[in-house]
A and B are shown apart, each in its own frame.
Chain A
Amino acid sequence: MSGLTEQDIAGAVLRLPALPNIVLELIHALDDKDVDTHTLAQKISYDQTLTAKVLRLANSSFYGMQSKIGSIPHAITVLGFNSVRSLVLAAAVVDTFADHASGDLDHAHFWKHAIGTALCAKAIAAHRSANQDQSFIAGLLHNIGRLVLATCSPLRYRDVLQRCAQHDEDLLAAETHVFGIDHKAAGKAVLEYWKFPATIIGTLVSGQVASPAQGDAAAIAAVADAIAYALDLSGGQYDRVPSIPAPDWDRLALNEAALQEIFATTETQFEEACAILGATGKA
C-alpha cells in the first residue's frame, strides 16, 4: 500500500468538520498577551449550547468552586480567561466531531481517552507549576491525528485497527505500516491548519524540543497519555499503555506522592467531564 502524501493529509484536514469561528478566534489568541477578553466573552455567550456546557464544566468538581458560576464573564472573573478558553475549546472540539463519521473509529472511546489525557496533563502541570490550561488543551488534542487518518481513508483505518487487534501491534507502528505516516504527523498538520501556537503543536513531537518549557509540555503530554491508559479510563479492549520515553519521565521527576495525587485527581474528574462534554457510551 502506498503512503499518504502531504496533499492527501491536507485534503483530509479540509474534510474535517469546521470549528465554530469563535473557537478559531480563541485559538489564534492563545499566544496573545493583550486579548480583548470582554469582546471574546460576549462572542462566546452568543453560542448558547457552548455556554451551557462551559458553565457546567466551570461548576463541576473540575474546579471545586463553592459559589455558582452563572455566566461567561463571571467565569472569566473567577477562573481566569485562560481556563475559560480551554473549557470552550474542549466543549467545541468534542461537539464538532460528535457526529463526524470516520469509519470504525469509536468516537466515545476516542474522546474518553482524549479527555482523560487532558485532565491528567492538567494535574501533572499543576505539580510542575507549568501552564495548566495549555497542558489540558495539548492533552485533549494529542490524538487528533487519528481522526485525520480515519477521515483520509476509513477503510485503511479499519486495517490499522485490525492489525492492532489481531497481532496486538503498537498503534503507531500499525499506522505507519498502513498509511506511511502515524497520527502524530497527521495531528501536526491539523493543528497547524487551525493555527495553534507552536507551543502546543510541539507537544505532539517529543524528543525534538526547542526550549526547556516546550520540553516540559511535550513530556507532560506523553506521560499523561500513558497514565490515561494505565488508569483504564477509556476501557477499550485493545488499549495498551505506550512506552514512556525515559527522558520525558525523568524530566518530570514525579515522586510517589505526586503520582498518587495525580491518579486520584484525574479519576475523580473524569466521569463528570465526559458526561458534560457528551463523550459517553460504552467503548
Chain B
Amino acid sequence: MVSTDIFLEIDLEDAAPGMTLAQAVFDEAGVCLMASGSVLSDKSIQALKKRGTHVVQIVAPVSDEKREAVLAASLARLDELFMHSKDSLPNRKLFESLLRYRRETMS
C-alpha cells in the first residue's frame, strides 16, 4: 500500500471483487475475518455478508497528478515539522531520511 492511497469506507453492498481492504474486518466477537491488504473476491464478499459485516474500508487508487500534489504537500509539511530543530545534527539526518522516504513511497 502506498501512503498516498486514499482509504474509503463503503457499504459491503457496493464492494466489488478486486478491491483491496485497507483495514482488517472483524466479527462481533473481535475475531478477524479478513486481514488488511487482502483482495476481495465474489466468494469473500458473500462470506462477509453472511457473517454480518455491513461496511468495509477499501483502498482507492489515485491519479498521477494527484499523487504529485500530495507529495509536494507532504514535503512542505516536513519542512514545517522540522522548522525548529534543523540546527540539531540528529534532526537534520532524520529530516534527510524522511525526504527520501516520502519520495520513494509516494512516487
Question: A residues engaging B (CB < 8 A)?
Answer: 51-53, 55-56, 59-61, 68, 70, 168, 170, 223, 226-227, 229-232, 239-246, 248-250, 256, 259-260, 263-264, 267-268, 271-272, 275
Task: Quote the shortest CB–CB distance from A92 to chain B (angstroms).
Answer: 15
Give the distance to chain A from B105, nearest Cβ to Cβ, in Å: 7
Complex contact A230–B35 (CB within 8 A): no
Question: In the complex where A230-B82, A241-B91, A244-B94 touch, is A59 in contact with B3 (Cβ < 8 A)?
Answer: no
Majority secondary structure, B binding face: mixed
Partner of A243, one of B22, B26, B88, B101: B88
Other A-B pairs, 8, CB within 8 Å; known A61-B36, A263-B97: A56-B32, A59-B35, A240-B84, A241-B84, A244-B88, A259-B94, A259-B97, A268-B1
Are B32's CB and A68's CB within 8 A?
yes
A61-B36, A249-B90 are known contacts. Are A56 and B81 too (CB-CB below 8 A)? Answer: no
Report B86-100 CB contacts with A as 1/0, cut-off 8 Å: 011111011101101
Q: List 17 A-B contacts (CB under 8 A).
A: A55-B30, A56-B32, A60-B32, A60-B36, A168-B84, A226-B91, A230-B78, A230-B95, A230-B98, A240-B84, A244-B90, A246-B88, A246-B90, A248-B90, A250-B90, A271-B7, A275-B23
Contacts of A53 in B (CB 8 A): 30
Tell me the smallest distance from the CB of B55 to a CB of chain A, in Å: 12
Q: How far is the CA of A243 from the CA of B78 in the complex (A)?
A: 14
B62 at the interface (CB under 8 A from A): no
Note all chain A residues with C-beta closer than 8 A to B89: 246, 249
Q: Please give, as numbers and ranges, the residues of chain A lying within 8 Å of B101 by CB-CB distance.
A: 259-260, 263-264
Shortest distance in angstroms between A240's beta carbon and chain B's nearest beta carbon? Answer: 5
Q: Are B94 and A59 in contact (CB under 8 A)?
A: no
Chain B residues with Cβ below 8 Å from A243 are 84-85, 87-88, 90-91
Q: Which residue of B lies closest to A170 (CB)?
A: B84
- If A53-B30, A231-B98, A260-B100 touch, does A240 touch B24 (CB 8 Å cutoff)? no
A61 to B26, CA, bound (A): 13
Q: Chain B nearest CB: distance from A153 CB in Å?
A: 26
* A61 CB contact (under 8 Å) in B31, B37, B83, B104: B37
CA distance A226 to B85 in the complex (A): 10
Residues of A within 8 A of B93 (CB): 249
Known A226-B94, A231-B98, A249-B90: A241·B31 in contact at CB below 8 Å: no
A84 to B77, CA, bound (A): 36
Q: Are B77 and A61 in contact (CB under 8 A)?
A: no
Query: A52, B90: Cβ atoms under 8 Å?
Result: no
Given contacts A59-B26, A240-B81, A243-B85, contact A227 B31 (CB under 8 A): no
**Closest residue on chain A to residue B85 by CB atoms:** A243
CA distance A264 to B101 in the complex (A): 9
In the bound complex, residues from chain B placing their C-beta under 8 Å from that of A52 are 29-30
> Cβ of B97 and Cβ of A256 under 8 Å apart?
yes
Q: Are B24 and A232 in contact (CB under 8 A)?
A: no
A260 to chain B, nearest CB (A): 6
Residue of A nearest to B101 (CB): A263
Interface residues of B in 56-91 (CB under 8 A from A): 74, 77-78, 80-85, 87-91
Q: Which residues of B contact A60 (CB under 8 A)?
A: 24, 32, 36
